[in-house]
């Protein structure tokens, strides 16, 4: 596969994300720590009360995927 093929593949992934919604899988979140994903969100779409699983403001979320990559237990993901 050429390097151009890789770019095309990545472009398709971004397009697919537009039809998906960010979700929190609470069972994957140990809910015993300050969520590291909250502070990486560029639009302040994640919030956390105490050590609970983070909440998503879907009106703010721009689907950049940063929080998904930051969560070590993969509790955040697009469905």
Residues that bind ligand SF4 (CB under 6 A): 22, 40-41, 43, 45-46, 56, 61-67
Looking at the Cβ atoms of 12 and 60, the one nearer to ligand SF4 is 60
Residue with tokens 């070590």: 72
56, two tokens: 């998503």
Q: How far is the CB of 45 from ligand SF4 (least distance, A)?
A: 4
Q: Name the phi and psi angles at 64, rounded to 5.
A: -75, -25
Q: Pick between residue 45 and residue 75 the one whose CB is nearest to ligand SF4.
A: 45
40: which residues sit within 8 A by CB, 6+ positions away?
A: 66, 67, 70
- Nearest approach, Cβ of residue 39 and ligand SF4 (Å): 10
């Amino acid at each position: 596969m050429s390097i151009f093929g890789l770019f095309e593949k990545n472009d398709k992934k971004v397009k697919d994300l537009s039809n998906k919604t960010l979700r929190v899988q609470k069972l994957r979140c140990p809910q015993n720590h300050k969520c590291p994903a909250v502070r990486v969100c560029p639009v302040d779409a994640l919030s956390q009360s105490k050590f609970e699983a983070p909440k998503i403001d879907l009106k703010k979320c721009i689907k950049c995927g940063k929080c998904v990559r930051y969560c070590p237990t993969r509790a955040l993901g697009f469905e």
